[in-house]
A and B are shown apart, each in its own frame.
Chain A
């Protein structure tokens, strides 16, 4: 991943040419294996931008707030010109947002970047047991980490990749104005892609329920999953509606499950498996458990891929007369 200089150069160029007012990318944080989403307004700040396997956040989630008319704004709204660094998943989220009329294409300059996948910080932290991750370096396809108790460990980068990155099918941006780098060809067949779904579905019904309950019971209602997701742009989330009141605000397990099921349904045919919700969750809840099942069904039942082009309609906004009815009850 030696594209960092290219990122800085492109960002500086766009800002200098005044093609964009601001450029959104990633900057270093002071924590190992973590970057910060970062916006710069001047080419002088371009060297703050970084590109490495810790650039996890889906930056597209920041776009609706930046580009939509602010509440109470009167007059002709002119959105700022925004440049954005887009790995494959981010570009697909941008496609989805444009198609849903949430952001205007012409306000955006998309700098596509070839991505080799991101490290799962949650996974690495897990490998250190109860000690804290205090230092990490990524070099030559290896992730070397040190824990607070002095333990040092080294992992293959491939092994430490986030589960969604391992089965990524679009490592390069599907839509871009500028492209950086060339993505390695990914050979992920459907079986490999949905292996986690198959494994979970193999469990007995009540074991699945118990596992679902256990996973969701850790939820603290911080809504980091929702806010980190570019698809969650509703002005009012069903979770916060009071008339009708779908769920309360407590940590009642049934309400937690309803929230996550409802959110998963809302993602149907729109989720690009960017993994942002999982990475954002402070409780490391495996939210892909739900999303990947729906993604699997969308792909196998209706075919095609979600948000890979501006032209193709999304799977749940179309139908075929001969769509599967095997799930339906026929009294005969």
Chain B
């Protein structure tokens, strides 16, 4: 029997320091056995358990799109035992990945529709995967207008700076980047994500909204989304929850009759309103 608790060995191929605070690093992971990559097959929005033998596992959203073959990207914040170890690790070290886990963003449902992607801070990781996927040359024509609104505390805290620039340069998508407070070199938006979203006011006609960010941002962005006319069924969020097994057994991420690990982490706002307020 296949054992869902066994991680695939992966080698840390590259470590990128993402922010000025140096507590966010992106790890490029390459499967030690190429056969494993073939069966891994993830979809943007899914996550994996990153395994460091001797320390434990952490559930982390997959930041790369399946269109970026050859490796997986994970952007990881330094918070505890496992992530400390990862932040101290060097390139070349072999760790493990268990997954892909959870429900993905509804990329089929998005076909033929406009997609508005709103992200804040460090919660931008699976949104990166989604944007890379939607804007990939093989997929781009399947989707309508793509609008991205992304904000961070300061320019130094923005993730994926090279890609942000590349997206802004593209003429087949619109990318709005904002920071709470800019520095002397900052020429973009200044202000919180809800305000900027309100200002750029993407149309909700024939569109889906994908929203990821810290709780406080979500709280203030939801009213804006409602004002823009996005229905709860068309508003897609991704939850964070403490997890262990990732396959709906261990009970840790249980909210109501759902398990965030297997029924989520991606939920529509409509689905979330059915759940008890316990996340």
Seen from chain A, the residues whose Cβ lies within 8 Å of a Cβ on chain B are 242-243, 245
Binding site secondary structure of chain A: loop
Report the bound CA distance from A242 to B84 in whole Å. Answer: 12
- Minimum CB distance partner of A243 in chain B: B81
Interface string of B46-81 (1 = CB under 8 A from A): 000000000000000000000000000000000011
- Minimum CB distance partner of A242 in chain B: B81
Report the bound CA distance from A243 to B80 in whole Å. Answer: 8
Q: In the complex, which residues of chain B have a beta carbon less than 8 angstroms from the beta carbon of A242?
A: 80-81
6 contacts between A and B (CB under 8 A): A242-B80, A242-B81, A243-B80, A243-B81, A243-B84, A245-B81
Q: How many A-B residue pairs have CB under 8 A?
A: 6
Give, as a whole number of angstroms, the nearest-CB distance from A238 to chain B: 16
Give, as a whole number of angstroms, the nearest-CB distance from B18 to chain A: 23
Q: In the complex, which residues of chain B have a beta carbon less than 8 angstroms from the beta carbon of A243?
A: 80-81, 84
Give, as a whole number of angstroms, the nearest-CB distance from B216 to chain A: 14
Give, as a whole number of angstroms, the nearest-CB distance from A12 to chain B: 37
Report the bound CA distance from A243 to B82 in whole Å. Answer: 11
Report the bound CA distance from A32 to B84 in whole Å. Answer: 52
Report the bound CA distance from A214 to B34 in whole Å. Answer: 50
- Minimum CB distance partner of B56 in chain A: A242
Q: In the complex, which residues of chain A have a beta carbon less than 8 angstroms from the beta carbon of B81?
A: 242-243, 245
Report the bound CA distance from A156 to B12 in whole Å. Answer: 71
Q: In the complex, which residues of chain A have a beta carbon less than 8 angstroms from the beta carbon of B80?
A: 242-243
Interface string of B115-131 (1 = CB under 8 A from A): 00000000000000000
Report the bound CA distance from A149 to B80 in whole Å. Answer: 54
List the 6 shortest-distance A-B pairs measured between CB atoms, nearest first: A242-B81, A243-B81, A242-B80, A245-B81, A243-B80, A243-B84
Interface residues of B in 83-126 (CB under 8 A from A): 84
Q: In the complex, which residues of chain B have a beta carbon less than 8 angstroms from the beta carbon of A245?
A: 81
Report the bound CA distance from A300 to B81 in whole Å. Answer: 43
Report the bound CA distance from A243 to B85 in whole Å. Answer: 12
Give, as a whole number of angstroms, the nearest-CB distance from A241 to chain B: 11
Report the bound CA distance from A243 to B81 in whole Å. Answer: 7
Give, as a whole number of angstroms, the nearest-CB distance from A192 to chain B: 49
- Minimum CB distance partner of A245 in chain B: B81
Report the bound CA distance from A243 to B79 in whole Å. Answer: 11
Give, as a whole number of angstroms, the nearest-CB distance from A82 to chain B: 28
Report the bound CA distance from A242 to B81 in whole Å. Answer: 7
Q: In the complex, which residues of chain A have a beta carbon less than 8 angstroms from the beta carbon of B84?
A: 243
Give, as a whole number of angstroms, the nearest-CB distance from A131 to chain B: 35
Give, as a whole number of angstroms, the nearest-CB distance from B59 to chain A: 16
Give, as a whole number of angstroms, the nearest-CB distance from B245 to chain A: 15
Give, as a whole number of angstroms, the nearest-CB distance from B79 to chain A: 11
- Minimum CB distance partner of B84 in chain A: A243
